[in-house]
Amino acid sequence: MTEPLAYRDFYYPLNVFMHILTHEEGRVDALHYGLFERDDDRIADAQERSTQLLLARFPTPPARVLEVGIGLGTMLARITKLGYDAVGITPDEQQIAVARGRHPQANIVCTKFEDFADERRFDLVFFQESSQYIESNALFAKAAELTNAVVVLDEFSLQPVSHPGALHSLEGFLDAAGQHGFRKTEELDLSQTAAPTVGYFMQRIARYKEPLIRDLGLTAEQVDELVASGNSYQDLYRRGVYGYRLLRFAR
């Protein structure tokens, strides 16, 4: 199976981001925000900046590490090569097919984090933009079973937002951590440098309307919805309602 056909069935709108990135950049290795320091930063370089921040918080290898939400498997393969005893999980078979095709040596389990179990504990469990898909209490309840150290890079609601599908409240996330015995040891506000990632897609989505309909089977309404939700996302970032954080917890 070729990769374009494989990501066609990634869940929406991840398939849209894959399509745009593949056409714009030639190859896609990561599905997370970049951290932009200059207007002309390439998205891959901005994404690498984010990964470097994460790696700087890892214990020295060899250590046992769990990656929650592996996407295309790039980070999992990288940390395995760095000497970590690394396990990666995602509930998405389509992503696993791509990740295994690219990185046959990576240790991948198809499961939701909420359902994952392992007999041995991990020195670190990390979430690079996967925590937003997991209910905060369930996340920290499961994390407490698996580890004493958690690192999260993700976006949150910083003020009350009532619309369906809104990001997790940061306050609720920190409360859930505390309830399960996790103490916050670091909080880095990356909102300013992460927000241009939304702009990157907004500048391109309308231009890709036809290819998105033709190649991914999206409807014109879905593309229009994506443009509308992207505009509202940009506005939420601009108003400081949404923000991006690196968070570190210990137990």
Greatest Cα pair distance, the chain, in angstroms, is: 50
Q: How far is the CB of 105 from ligand SAM (least distance, A)?
A: 18
Nearer to ligand SAM, 123 or 129 (CB): 129
Q: How far is the CB of 228 from ligand SAM (least distance, A)?
A: 20
Sign of CA dihedral 167, 171, 174, 178: negative
Nearer to ligand SAM, 15 or 128 (CB): 128
Nearer to ligand SAM, 29 or 123 (CB): 29
Nearer to ligand SAM, 58 or 133 (CB): 133
Tell how far CA 88 is from the center of its chain.
13
Judged by the rule CB under 6 A, the positions of this chain that interact with ligand SAM are 30-32, 68-71, 89-92, 95, 112-114, 128-130, 133-134
Residue 96, classed as helix, strand or coil, is helix
Beta strands in the chain (DSSP E): 64-68, 85-90, 108-110, 124-128, 149-157, 183-189, 242-250
Q: How far is the CB of 49 from ligand SAM (least distance, A)?
A: 13
Nearer to ligand SAM, 160 or 165 (CB): 165
Q: How far apart are CA 232 and CA 223, in angstroms?
A: 14
Question: Could you say which DSSP state residue 57 is in?
Answer: T
Nearer to ligand SAM, 220 or 229 (CB): 229
Q: Whose CB is nearest to ligand SAM?
A: 69
Q: How far is the CB of 96 from ligand SAM (least distance, A)?
A: 9
Q: How far is the CB of 154 from ligand SAM (least distance, A)?
A: 9
Q: How far is the CB of 137 from ligand SAM (least distance, A)?
A: 13
Residue 170, classed as helix, strand or coil, is helix
Buried b or exposed e, range 105-138, using 16+ CB within 10 angstroms = ebebeeebbeebeeeeebbbbbbbbbbbebebee
Beginning with the edge strand found earlier in the chain, give each strand of the sheet holding 108-110 in spatial order: 108-110, 85-90, 64-68, 124-128, 149-157, 242-250, 183-189
